[in-house]
Amino acid sequence: MIQLPEERRPPISPSMALRVAVLGGLALVLFAIVFFRLWYLEVLSGDQYVVQANENQVREVRIQAPRGDIVDRYGRPIVRNRMANTVQIEPARLPAAGAPRRRLYRRLGGVLEMSPREIQQTVIEQRKALPYANVMVKQDVSLSAMNYIKERQPRFPGVTVEPVFLRRYPYGPLAAQLLGYVGRITRTELKQERYKGVHPQAVVGQAGLEWEYDRYLRGRDGATLLSINSLGKSRGFLRRREPLPGRNLKLSLDLGLQQAGQLALARAGHGNPGGFVALDPRNGQVLALGSVPSFNPTVFAKPLLQSTYRALTSKATGAPLFNRAIAGAYPTGSTFKPITAVAGLSAGVITPFTVINDGGCLTVGLTRFCSPGNVGHGAVALSRAIQVSSDVYFYTVGRDLDPIKGEPLQRWARKLGLGRKTGIDVPEEARGNVPDRAWRARMGRAELRCEHKRHVPSCGISDMRAWSTGDNVNLSIGQGDLLASPLQMAVAYSTITNGGKVVRPHLGLEVDDGEGRLIQEIDPPASRRVRIPPAFRNAIMSGLHAAASAPGGTSADVFAGWPQARLPVFGKTGTAQRPAGQRDQSWYVCYVPNRTRPIVVAVTIEGGGFGAEAAAPAARLILSKWFGVKSKFIAGKSRTQ
């Protein structure tokens, strides 16, 4: 019998049957997934996608909210807004690169009186800085140019003309480092919690008070909602969401004192960089704070060129962006001596009446520490030592404090506000440095590690020695590795003068609405307290007063003719050594008591020479403005008319 072909096929093996079953099951699962996804999109999420499709037919045109003003303690505006017409480019809507884009730049340049190359360079530089934001081609565009572009919009694809609010600084560089500046929000900032919900084109505070109080000053942008067709063209107005203007910020600054301070610093310092602080010692309110050289914050109205930024941060130009009053860290010279006095009195190594013979030099181990010119002052007690600024007296105190457990000199320096941030409501404050044994050991370990990495530019061997008594001797007169800012010294002197209250310096007083009505008071954190017995304070204050008023006082000549009976000055000069080849750093810190207007002023000038040469005359001009004393600046000193 003949078999049919079908009957000759071998039977399917069990393994083959299993494979077919698995493949069939997988195919069934895949079809089920596709079916379920289609069902999910059509049935469960259909309404949601309909809403999104409708939203795609609406374009939101941002309406910028004006930032709040910044005013001084009397309501006088320091920073305001102004309206400016700007021409911007939306990079995503530009014609294709090449001939079409060059033609656009030529047409736009003819209207704005700019070269096509200049426009192209502006686009390239700003896209590097803010790749997602519109490019601001020109500010303060004339009305005729604005209308020309608007009426011929198809000839200018990607070009928009809109009014924007720009910051206006009526006093130019006055308090520029303190006020800070604003700029387009960056991609990194958009990810931060403090900028949650902020528009990607928003202008926010980038430095200084503009940054610190941005949440009050910024306001909330509004928007105009337009209906658009599939080609992106407007089909009509839908609705408008009004912007919410930012709040006004009232500061503790006195505008007149701020102006006088910066002028005094520039004149007394003869162009040398420096910083000053004027503080209310009762509550820490900052009455004036400035740094020279300064800059005009309007340069930040549009993205900054790299060349401009280099000029603002270069040592060759004095680094105008750097706020020397709070971020400058310098050896303080003899202005540190009242702190040494507090430490010596508290540790019991001296009393207010302890007499030390100042022969001009003090030998510690194998090292001789001498006053300038080896000039001594004979037998002096504490008040006289402060009056004449006896180095040997304080060398002796520093030597005797060194072996005492707990490092009392360093401990009191930190108690009075050095070596730590004061907490002022402005960013970029320097911590400074109060050197001690632990610090010297850390530096030694770091330098030892560097010994094996000499090819690294930032790594070098300078001084691997251990802490010595000589370090404490240097510290006692504000030399060596001590670093402090004018603000820290103002806080330290405020603490001594007010009897032990370590004030928290602050600038923000209150937040107001556009009409000047109070919305919120700004309360600084509570102050710390340290114990300074009245007898100790009186001895130090006596020396400070004599230094500014009695014959032989280090600043008595500067304050000749000052009404000491009505406005007694308690002040101390300081002359700190700087690197080889540079003139000494000039310092002056002083206090004037008054029932309603007490003030502490700290001034430092790089390369200013002796404290009485530059810093003290600048401080006198500041005090003259504050108390209404007529003064004339003559050859590095102030004289009352």
- pLDDT tens track for 440-486: 998 887 766 665 555 555 565 455 688 999 999 999 999 999 999 99
pLDDT given for residue 392 in this prediction: 97
pLDDT tens readout for residues 40-55:
666 656 566 555 555 5
Task: Specify which residues 639 forms β-bridges with.
Answer: 632
Structure tokens at 92: 């995503």
Q: Are 68 and 81 in contact (CB under 8 A)?
A: no
Query: Between 382 and 63, where is the model more confident?
Result: 382
Q: Is 528 exposed, middle or buried (0-12, 13-18, 19+ CB in 10 A)?
A: middle
Tell me the CB-side half-sphere exposure of residue 608, using CA atoms within 13 A.
Answer: 37
pTM: 0.84
What are the DSSP calls for 395-416, one per residue?
Answer: HHHHHHHTTSTT-HHHHHHHHT
Give the whole-angstrom CA distance, residue 382 versus residue 552: 15
Q: Comparing C-alpha atoms, which of 254, 416, 429 is closest to residue 325?
A: 429
Higher pLDDT, 225 or 638: 225
Q: Considering the chain, what is the average pLDDT of its residues?
A: 88
Count Cβ atoms below 10 Å from residue 287 Cβ, excluding itself.
24
How far is Cα of residue 121 from the mean position of the Cα atoms in its chain? 31
The segment with the largest mean pLDDT, out of 4-18, 289-303, 357-371, is 357-371
- What would the mean pLDDT of 121-142 be, rounded to a whole number? 81
pLDDT tier, 635 (very low <50, low <70, confident <90, very high otherwise): very low
The pLDDT, as a whole number, for residue 640 is 36
Q: Is the dihedral of CA 230, 234, 235, 241 positive or negative?
A: positive
CA–CA distance, 166 with 83 (Å, rounded to integer): 6
Question: Would you state the pLDDT for residue 94?
Answer: 86
Bridge partner list, 241? 223
Using the predicted structure, report yes or no on whether residue 78 has a pLDDT greater than 90: yes
> Looking at the predicted structure, is the pLDDT value of residue 8 above 80?
no
Task: Set out the domains of the chain in order of their start, with CATH numbers.
Answer: 59-251 (3.90.1310.10), 255-293+324-509+524-640 (3.40.710.10)
Q: For residue range 9-29, what is the model confidence (pLDDT) as tens digits?
A: 566 677 777 777 777 778 787
Residue 190, pLDDT score: 87
The tokens describing 95, both together, are 């014609």
The 3-state secondary structure of 304-331 reads CCHHHHHHHHCHHHCCCCCCCCCCCCEC
CB distance 86 to 64 below 8 Å: no
Backbone angles phi, psi at 588, to 5 degrees: -155, 130
The CA dihedral of 547, 551, 552, 557, to the nearest 10 degrees, is 70
Strand-pair partners of 278: 288, 601
Q: State which amino acid sits at residue 133.
A: A
- The Cα–Cα gap between 244 and 218 comes to 9
